[in-house]
Amino acid sequence: MYREIEPSEQLSSYIESYWISSKVKENHTSFVEPDGCFDIVIHFHNGINEVYLTGIWDKPIMVNSYKNVDLLGIRFYPKALQAFFNISIGEIKNTSTKVHKQMFKSSIDIELLYNSKNIDELISFFDVFFLSMLEENKTIIHQFLDELDYNSDVDCIADKIGVSRRHLCRELKNKLGITTKAYMNIIRFISAKRMLLHGKSYTEIVYKCGYYDQSHFIKEFKKYTGKNPSNYIK
């Protein structure tokens, strides 16, 4: 069973959701598309077994789920990196690493984390923890993400936040491990997928999302999903 829980309102621009995969009856593999976010993933079986931090991925990945192991995920928007973490996630693009307390800007009580008895208790713990260290730290990446949408112009954003395009692109690459162009392509794909699932035509999607033509849209969509749009909506 899979479900998502919204974070507290104060965290909603930093955390997209808490997600839970539970009551898995047998081992299986899921196909996960790029979403422009990074996650903390906790394996929970009679207490916490493992805690991982994933990077942003720019291609579809396969994720394993195991019988009787529940998963709790915290799906972060990239601006959370500067607000909560002391690290760059560039080196873990398309992969993951184990979490340790030195990763966070504020000290985290690892013992309290590992002593949590259930997933609801863990979510309450993280809500309080991230709220306690929330600060408005308007870094270049933070400002870039505030201005970004699927039809953005990088030069215009750079001008608006007062940096050069080169400096902006270098910061994004260093902090997130992904190029500005690649990240914007993911944002455009997410918008195109949403329009597709709401019944919009290829022509409207191509026009609204800034693809060159239908062939370009289909090629990009297949890169992130492994399927043509027509097969995907089936």
Query: Given pLDDT bands bounded at 50, 70 and 90, which one contains residue 67?
Result: confident
- Answer yes or no: do 7 and 81 share one domain: yes
Domain count, the chain: 2
List, for residues 85-109, the tens digit of each pLDDT value.
888 888 899 999 998 878 888 777 6
Listed residues 132, 164, 199: the one ending a domain = 132
| Distance from C-alpha of 58 to C-alpha of 84, rounded to nearest angstrom | 23
- Answer yes or no: do 13 and 96 share one domain: yes
DSSP state letters, 36-71: S-EEEEEEESSSEEEEEEE---SS-EEEEE-TT-EE
DSSP state letters, 125-138: HHHHHHHHT-----
Mean pLDDT of 193-199: 92
Note down the domain range covering 72. Answer: 2-132
Listed residues 100, 132, 164: the one ending a domain = 132
Q: Is the pLDDT of residue 46 over 80?
A: no
Sequence-ordered list of residues with C-beta below 8 angstroms from that of 177, at least 6 positions apart, any chain = 55, 56, 88, 89, 90, 91, 92, 93
Looking at per-residue confidence, does 133 or 127 come out higher? 127
- Answer yes or no: do 56 and 118 share one domain: yes
- Answer yes or no: do 215 and 148 share one domain: yes
- Answer yes or no: do 70 and 127 share one domain: yes
| Distance from C-alpha of 14 to C-alpha of 204, rounded to nearest angstrom | 31
- Answer yes or no: do 190 and 225 share one domain: yes
Number of CB atoms found within 10 A of residue 136's CB = 6
Mean pLDDT of 53-79: 88
Q: What is the phi-psi region of residue 22: left when phi exceeds 0, alpha when psi lies from -120 to 50, beta otherwise?
A: beta
Q: Is the pLDDT of residue 23 over 80?
A: no
Mean pLDDT of all residues in the chain?
Answer: 86
Share of residues in the chain with pLDDT > 90 (%): 32
- Answer yes or no: do 28 and 128 share one domain: yes
| Distance from C-alpha of 35 to C-alpha of 56, rounded to nearest angstrom | 8
Q: Give the pTM.
A: 0.74
- Answer yes or no: do 122 and 185 share one domain: no
Q: Is the pLDDT of residue 114 over 80?
A: no
Q: Are the C-beta atoms of residues 85 and 130 closer than 8 Å to each other? A: no
Q: Are the C-beta atoms of residues 30 and 65 closer than 8 Å to each other? A: yes
- Answer yes or no: do 154 and 103 share one domain: no
- Answer yes or no: do 128 and 144 share one domain: no
- Answer yes or no: do 7 and 114 share one domain: yes
Answer positive or negative: Cα dihedral of 161, 163, 164, 170: negative
Report the DSSP pairing between strands 15-21 and 61-65: unpaired
- Per-residue model confidence (pLDDT) at position 133: 76
CATH of the domain at 198: 1.10.10.60
Q: Are the C-beta atoms of residues 210 and 198 closer than 8 Å to each other? A: no
Listed residues 84, 104, 132: the one ending a domain = 132
- Answer yes or no: do 124 and 147 share one domain: no
| Distance from C-alpha of 175 to C-alpha of 169, rounded to nearest angstrom | 10
Query: Given pLDDT bands bounded at 50, 70 and 90, which one contains residue 111?
Result: low
Backbone angles phi, psi at 86, to 5 degrees: -100, 10
